[in-house]
Structure 1
Amino acid sequence: MASLNHFANMYDVKLKPRLLRLLTDEYLPDGAVPVPTPPELSYVVHAIKNFGLLSESFPDLSESKLVEDWKSSVDVWFDRLLSLVSSESTVNCWVGTSLLGVTCLECSSNRFLASYPIWLDKLLSHIEPPSDSEFVKAASCASISDVLTRLGGYSNVTREGISHAGKFIQPVLNLLNEDSSEALLEGAVGLLCTIITFFPSSLHHDYETAEAAIVSKIMSRKYSVNMLKKYAHCLALLPKSRGDEDSWSLMMQKLLISINVNLTDAFAGLREEAAVKFLVPPGKDPSTSLANHSESSGQASQKSGRLLVEVLLSLGSC
């Protein structure tokens, strides 16, 4: 970092190619360069964002040499990053994957549209078996989310976006069904939320499976309040993938009935049948409770009161 001190004006466009090459040489491992520490990675991300090092945004009358220098520097950055993401070294792969998100968000539109299919294919392999590094999987989920978020802003590639997003549905649901760390589960549920937000139709055929996976996590009562909020947010987004009013209404019914079921398990004397009648519109049959995706009421009654309250608050926040 000290080697950057001699620059008089860090925002001078003529210095951006040089600064980007400096970051590439000093912080992207290639055998000779050591693996950067997390603080160093944070510094690299900050520099890329703060100085627009990947934007290739030239002044109207830029010199041709400047254009070529900057293009060449970005080429080198992309090539090195692709090499890291493809590396068999878990640490190098994690570094490349961690920087891929900011790269896709900060690069020019032409760069992004030309590169995103390659990046998504590489990242897909990192969240599928036989990948066994949770660090790489979690970083991959975050970067995939960044790529799909930006891709969602281009209306001319919506069809391609839906196709790419659909490839991640089953791997993400598999991650949610595993007994993984909260860091990985947070990345997986965040990615699922991104897919629902920007490419909802890609989840249409897996709606029931996704609902079951999310609800089972909420009802398991094994996770922190922060994670329960994230699951609840994802569950609330889910009807968007079907895009009709009935799906939203049905989800609300399921949530209310599930809250009632949990309260009935916790407090003897509540009359479930009477309560359910008030939750369902006249002439409609009661929908299935979300609790059907969870453990039995007998098992649930053995859980602590504090965890029950957290589940109820999570369902209520939907």
Structure 2
Amino acid sequence: MFSPTRSLRFQLLFAATISLCVVALLALMAVKRYAYDTAKMTFDERLSSAALQIIDHVHFNNLSFSVDIPFSAFKSLASSANDRVFYLVTSTNNEFITGYEELLNNPVVQTQINQHNTVLEPKPDYFYLDFMGESVRFSVVSRAINTMQGKINVYAVLGQTLQSRIAWESEIYNQAIKMLVGVILCSLLVITALIWRVLRPINEINRKIAKRSNLDLTPISVEGPREINHLIETINVFMSQLDGTLNNLKSFTGEAAHQLKTPIAGIKAQLSVAQSKVRDPEALSYINRISSSNDHLERTVVQLLNHATIKHRFRRVEPQPVQFNQLVKTAVASWQ
């Protein structure tokens, strides 16, 4: 997922951002569902309350039903000037009493009325319907009224368009989005500060190593959490081993110079003695060849040892600034 060359800070921030985005997406889905359920419950309660007020004002007088619809029934639904309200009051066998007669002729409304159960305490049923070019949420309530012909069920169907419901749901959702965005931004700021604090010991180690000279292989001392302390201990162990290796290399270089130069010098001395005592031209020719090869071996060994010594000392000597202009002036003055 991440390139190994990516910054650790970038990887942590990216992972935290992705995690927060996933959580935010799930939270938005939950908030949207909550806003829908809240708006539905709130407006359904208003709708059923108004329908119950209407059904409570249905009376049977002089062999006919009459309805005195209270003003308060529609006042609770007047939260939006753009919403429209439709109602119907009917009795058993679809007898029209008052309201929108078009609702009585609608097959969906007739089905909902026929399926509605009349109980002692009216319990509303709800359904959606496209009516007169509007999406409407309807509530159905009923109660039984005693008449000369016996008990007759009276039904009140009350509906309201969805503008206020949708607007309230959107308001809840938008407020939740603002709060969620604020929480995410604050979380990112806190995570960024924590990442900076966690990575500070690593940056301190980097600065201390960068400021050190080639000769300084002493242990590093940085205060940090337990995980960083393990890293510091590992670096200190490595530096200790490196210091020991360099010291061993220095000892090996001196020992090698002594062990190699001494036998070569002895061979050279013996060859000099042989050259002075041997009179046979052929034997002297062989001795001269051996002496020449010995000289070549001596020069090669000296060059190798000098190269190893210079390379070793170059790594062990701390670099110093050089005034190049002054160096050139000094060199030119020495030739005058």
Taking structure 1 as the reference length, the TM-score comes to 0.18
Q: Which has the higher contact order (CA 8 A, sep 6+)?
A: 2
Structure whose residues are more often strand by fraction: 2
Q: Which structure is larger by alpha-carbon Rg, 1 or 2?
A: 2
Taking structure 2 as the reference length, the TM-score comes to 0.17
Structure whose residues are more often helix by fraction: 1
